[in-house]
Structure 1
C-alpha cells in the first residue's frame, strides 16, 4: 500500500503541479476566462489513461498463462523505463518548470485557435503522467500480493490533488528540488524491485533459464505474505527466495541508477564570446 501511495503522490503531484502553475498564471495575468480549457484538457487526459489501463488489463487476461507472464514482464520493463525517465526529468526540470510553463502558456494563447492550443498543452502534459501511471500501476499490481495496493494508489492521487490545489491557491509552498530528490531515491528502489520481478516473469514465460539458483530462502523467517514482508516487497522489491539472476538484476540496477541520480550535476562550460568593436 505504501509504495503505490507514494508513487501516485509523486506522479499525481507532477500533474497537479503543472495544472496548478498554468491555472495560477492565468488567474494572475487576468486571463481566468481560459480556465475551462484547462479542465477540458485534464478530463480528456484522465479518460485516455483510464481507457488505456482497462484495455491493457482486458487484453492481457485473454492470453495463455505463459503469454500473460511475458506481457507482465514487458509491462514491468516499460514501467521501469518510465519511472527512471520521470525521476531524472524532474531532477533537471524542478527548478525551471514554472518559467517554462509560463512561456508555453503565452505562446499557446498568442496564436489563433488559442483554446485548442491550451487544451492540447494541458492534455499532453497530464496524459503523459496518466499513461506513466497506468504502466507502473499495472506492473505493481501484477507483482504485488498486497490487496490494499489500489487503495494506496487512490489515496496518493487524492493527496496529490489536495497539494495541487494548495499550490494553485498559494497556500502551500514546497521545496520542489528536495521533494523530488527524496521521492526519486524511493522510486529508484521501487523500480529496482519491478526490474527484478520482470526478470522473474521472463523465467516463468520460458524465456530466461539462467542463474536460477536460489540465493537464500527466508520463507519461514520473513515470508512475503507477512505484513513486514508485504511492505518490504512493495518498497524494496524484497523476495523471500530470490534467484541469483533476480538478485544480480536488482543490485546492479540499483547501484547504477543511484550513482547516476545522486552524483553532482556537472556545470555546463561557460564560453566567452569576443565582441569586436
Structure 2
C-alpha cells in the first residue's frame, strides 16, 4: 500500500481536528468555570454523534459511488472520474471556505463560543441539548469536509482514510495537551503552517479535479459518438491536446514521472502532473492568486497586487 496519499488527508484532518478540539476545550473550560460540569456528558455525546454521522456520510458516499458505477456497465468508466471530479470541486469549495473563514474568525472564536454557551445555559432544561448541538455541528462540519476530500480521492484506496484517522488521533492528542496537561503551543504558528500546506494541497486538487473531468468527457466521447463535440480541443489547436484542457504545457513523464518517487510525493501533496495542460495551469495560478491572496490578507494583513494608497500614488507622481 502506498502511504504517500495518506499525508494530505492527515494534514486536513489534523488542522480541522484541532479546530474542533479548541471548541470542545473552550466549552469544557467554560462549563467548569460556570460550575455546570454535570453537562460534560452532553459535550462527549456531541463529539460521538458528530463522528458517527461523519462516518455514515462517508459510507453513504461510498455506496453512491458503487451504485452509480454498477448501474450502467456501458458508462461505468465515465462515472468514476466524473464522481472524482465532482467530489473534488465540492472539497475545493468547502476547504477554501473553511481556510479563509476560520482564519478570519480565529480571534473571535473564544468569545463566540462562550457567548453561545451562555445563551444555551440560560435556556433552562434545554441546556444539555444546546451544548450537544453546538459540539455536534462543530465536529460534523470538520468531519464532512474531511469526508469530501477522502471521497474525492477514493481511487487511491484505503490510504487517505488511514491518514485521516491518524490526523484525528493527533488532533485529540493536541487537545489533551492543551486543556488537560496545560502544555503551551503556539497555535498561531501551527495554523499558519497548516494553512499554507492546506492551500497548496487544495490548489493541487484543482489540477486533479480538472484532470478527472477531462478524463470523464474524453471517455464519454469514445463511448458515444454524439458526445465527441464536447471535446472542444481534440485535434484542433495543438499536436498533443487534451479533450477540454487545451494544449499541453509540459511533458515530464520521462524526467519526473508522477507515479514514481519523488514525483509521487509532489503529485500527492501539491498536485504535480507530469503532463500538464493549459487550463490546469491557469486554474492552479488563479486559485493561488485569489484564495491565496485572501488567506494571506486574513493572516498577515498583506495583500499581493493590492492597490497603492493615494499617498503612495501622489508621492510617485
TM-score calculated relative to the size of structure 1: 0.88
Tell me, yes or no, if structure 1 residue 60 matches structure 2 residue 73: no
Partner of 1:172: 183
CA contact (8 A) 2:210 2:280 kept: yes
SS in 2 for 1:227: coil
What residue ranges of structure 2 are gaps of 5+ in the alignment?
Answer: 1-5, 69-75, 218-229, 232-242, 303-317
Tell me, yes or no, if structure 1 residue 219 matches structure 2 residue 253: yes
Written as runs of structure 1 = structure 2, the 5 A alignment for 1:110-125 is 110-112=122-124, 113-125=126-138
Distance 1:52 1:248 in 2: 33
Name the structure, 1 or 2, with higher relative contact order (CA <8 Å, separation 6+).
1
Partner of 1:230: 264
Distance 2:95 2:40 in 1: 30
Tell me, yes or no, if structure 1 residue 182 matches structure 2 residue 174: no
Tell me, yes or no, if structure 1 residue 154 matches structure 2 residue 165: yes
Residue by residue, what CA displacement relative to the aligned partner does 1:150-199 show, whole Å, maximum 9, x if unpaired?
33222211110100112221523333333222211211111111111111
Q: CA deviation at 1:147?
A: 6.2
Larger Rg: 2
SS in 1 for 2:249: coil
Aligned residue among 32, 37, 41 for 1:32: 37
Aligned residue among 98, 103, 112 for 2:110: 98
Q: How many residues align?
A: 264
SS in 2 for 1:216: strand
TM-score calculated relative to the size of structure 2: 0.78
Q: CA deviation at 1:33?
A: 0.6
Q: CA deviation at 1:47?
A: 0.9
Q: From the superposition, tell whether residues 192 and 159 of structure 1 become closer, same or farther in structure 2 (CA, over 3 Å).
A: same
Distance 1:57 1:20 in 2: 32
Distance 1:52 1:2 in 2: 22
Distance 2:108 2:205 in 1: 30
What residue ranges of structure 1 are gaps of 5+ in the alignment?
Answer: 267-277
Distance 1:225 1:71 in 2: 22
Distance 1:205 1:116 in 2: 45
What RMSD in Å do the two structures reach over aligned CA positions? 1.9
Partner of 1:258: 292
Partner of 1:51: 56
CA contact (8 A) 2:42 2:128 kept: yes
Partner of 1:272: none
Q: From the superposition, tell whether residues 75 and 241 of structure 1 become closer, same or farther in structure 2 (CA, over 3 Å).
A: same
Runs of 4+ in 1 over 4 A off after TM superposition: none
SS in 1 for 2:248: coil
Partner of 2:86: 74
CA contact (8 A) 2:83 2:152 kept: no
